[in-house]
Copies of this chain bind each other. A is one copy, B any other.
Amino acid sequence: MNAGDELLDLLALRYSVGPKYLAPPAPSAAQWTRAAALASRAPDHGGLRPFRFVVVDDSQRDALAELFARGAQQRGQSTEEVKRARERAFNGPGLVALIARVRADLADVPPHEQWLCVGAALMNFMNALHLMGFGAKALSGASVSDPAVHQAFCGPGERLANWVIVGCPTRATHPRGLSIPAVEPDDLLLPWAG
């Protein structure tokens, strides 16, 4: 088996790891940088680089929890739900926000092509973390579109695409047993009907 084959097998073993199964440590600064560097190798029509990563430090979790809790309150959620919203700020030993900046004013690179680039970057970011031995999961939910969170993370024309939580997996990663594909598997790759 050559190096490429081994890598393919190793990449295919990447599964999302939820917050319950992520233990410290978080990636080091050098490891975040390496993951972001691989992300920046995504195909990028027009060279727009329509994404960036923002790392939330441990010392900032309380401030983030406050934002999450206030958002949940403003959405009229119950005390229990507000508590859970607050707790989400502490998910993952490592926490990063993926920020997308998708422009609508480019004839040659329509928004969906820019989203493809952001998604490709996310994939390589997670691939890099996986290859460094980390588990990770992309998470969204109400917080990514909360106005106060938006203001705290995004500049003009930007939006918070999703969070990525990262840490050391405390059990072997495995496919989500309950995931049922919405479409026939054999639809994934077909010859052109012509």
For the complex, is A85 an interface residue (Cβ under 8 Å from B)?
no
Contact, CB under 8 Å: B8 / A128: yes
CB neighbors of B among A100-151 (8 A): 100, 102, 112-113, 115-124, 126-128, 130-133, 137-138, 140
Contact, CB under 8 Å: A189 / B122: no
For the complex, is A179 an interface residue (Cβ under 8 Å from B)?
yes
Residue of B nearest to A39 (CB): B188
Binds B, one of A18-26, A29-37, A69-77: A29-37
Known A43-B138, A116-B118: A8·B190 in contact at CB below 8 Å: no
Residue of B10, B46, B187, B192 touching A56 (CB-CB under 8 A): B192
Distance of A48 Cα from B118 Cα, bound (Å): 18
A78-111 interface mask toward B, CB cutoff 8 Å, 1 = contact, 0 = none? Answer: 0000000000000000000100101000000000
Contact, CB under 8 Å: B52 / A34: no
How far is the CB of A113 from the nearest CB of chain B, in Å? Answer: 6
Contact, CB under 8 Å: B119 / A181: no
Contact, CB under 8 Å: A8 / B122: no
Contact, CB under 8 Å: B12 / A47: no
A173-188 interface mask toward B, CB cutoff 8 Å, 1 = contact, 0 = none? Answer: 0001001111100011
Known: A42-B123, A119-B119, A120-B120. 8 other contacts (CB 8 A): A7-B11, A11-B38, A39-B188, A54-B190, A56-B192, A116-B161, A117-B119, A124-B127
